[in-house]
Amino acid sequence: MLQSQPVRIPKASVVVAERIRRGIVRGDFQPDQALPNETELMALYEVSRPVVREALRIIESESLIKVKRGAGGGARVRRPDIAVAARHTALLLQLEGTTLEDLFEARALIEPAAVRRLATLRPKDAIERLRQCHRDELAVIEDLETYPLAAAQFHEQVIELAGNKTMAILGRLLLEIVETLNRTTFARLDGRGAKIARDAAECWHAPLIDMIEAGDVDGAVAHWERHLQEAAKLGLKQLGHTTVVDLLGRDF
């Protein structure tokens, strides 16, 4: 005898939210473009005002739109912010009891793979973009508030230039969390921080660019693996084996 198999019909607001989301992803609505107003959305999807408003709340919670209330307000499309995704990722990592050591291990798996791909393919503008990124970090080498961000951007550039979009997104997510860790680490180093920052930029980042330019794939990978090992050692020495959530929520 067949058992009952109830079919769950999605709420109308969920369906409308999915259609708006799909339109944003497809490019029907561009970043900073205004969505149709509530009346137009009601007519477009043949739903009530409460349904439209609930759909917009769903999309807004995903950071795909920004809604301005009141006269002259409305919904505008926004580009998803990697920082929002990083906060959610950090929360999930916390719930899993993830340690900083685990986080550094994941980084050590992703970044050398990106370096290998980048040094193998050597896209046309990769070297100049890396050198510009390196110049940017050298310009703020004495500013231990700003330098960790510049250093993280160099690492992001390495991953992005490797040309794999999935790897780039995962790397940016990870580095968004690591950049917060770096700021806390350098804040604790006091006078030693500037020297360590300079060593990282001059002894690790600059030689990597030269190796990639020369097509030294294995050398570049080995060099970057050592850099990540040293960075992990420094971070763990300063911060200990705490959970990832501390990067976003508490002072170490």
Token pair, residue 160, equals: 């992005």
pLDDT computed for residue 191 by the predictor: 73
List of residues 6+ apart from 29 with CB closer than 8 A:
20, 23, 35, 77
Q: 65 - beta bridge partners?
A: 77
Given pLDDT bands bounded at 50, 70 and 90, which one contains residue 247? low
Query: Domain range spanning residue 61?
Result: 12-77
Whether residue 212 sits in one domain with residue 141: yes
How far apart (Å, rounded) are the C-alpha atoms in residues 238 and 192?
A: 13
Whether residue 162 sits in one domain with residue 39: no
Lowest mean pLDDT among 13-17, 105-109, 166-170, 240-244: 240-244
Long-range CB contacts for residues 29-36, cutoff 8 Å, separation at least 24: 29/77, 30/77, 31/77, 31/78, 31/79, 32/76, 32/77, 32/78, 33/76, 33/77, 34/74, 34/75, 34/76, 34/77, 35/65, 35/74, 35/75, 35/76, 35/77
Domain presence at residue 3: no
Number of domains forming the structure of the chain: 2
Domain presence at residue 58: yes
What is the arithmetic mean of pLDDT over 100-105?
A: 92
Given pLDDT bands bounded at 50, 70 and 90, which one contains residue 213? very high
Whether residue 155 sits in one domain with residue 113: yes
| The last residue of a domain, from among 77, 100, 129 | 77
The CA–CA distances, whole Å, from 163 to 49, 67, 79, 249 equal 44, 34, 21, 33
Domain presence at residue 105: yes
Whether residue 96 sits in one domain with residue 58: no
Whether residue 86 sits in one domain with residue 63: no
Predicted model pTM: 0.79
Whether residue 213 sits in one domain with residue 230: yes
Domain presence at residue 184: yes
First to last CA, the chain: 61
Whichever domain contains 162, its CATH number is 1.20.120.530
pLDDT computed for residue 90 by the predictor: 83
pLDDT computed for residue 220 by the predictor: 98
Residue 244 has pLDDT above 80, yes or no: no
| The last residue of a domain, from among 39, 58, 77 | 77
Domain presence at residue 179: yes
Whether residue 139 sits in one domain with residue 71: no
Whether residue 177 sits in one domain with residue 123: yes
pLDDT computed for residue 249 by the predictor: 53
What is the arithmetic mean of pLDDT over 83-93?
A: 83
Whether residue 94 sits in one domain with residue 61: no
Whether residue 165 sits in one domain with residue 148: yes
Whether residue 35 sits in one domain with residue 113: no
Q: How large a percentage of the chain has pLDDT more than 70?
A: 93
pLDDT computed for residue 238 by the predictor: 84
What is the arithmetic mean of pLDDT over 24-49?
A: 91
Domain presence at residue 34: yes
| The last residue of a domain, from among 60, 77, 94 | 77
Domain presence at residue 1: no
Domain presence at residue 181: yes
Whether residue 120 sits in one domain with residue 68: no
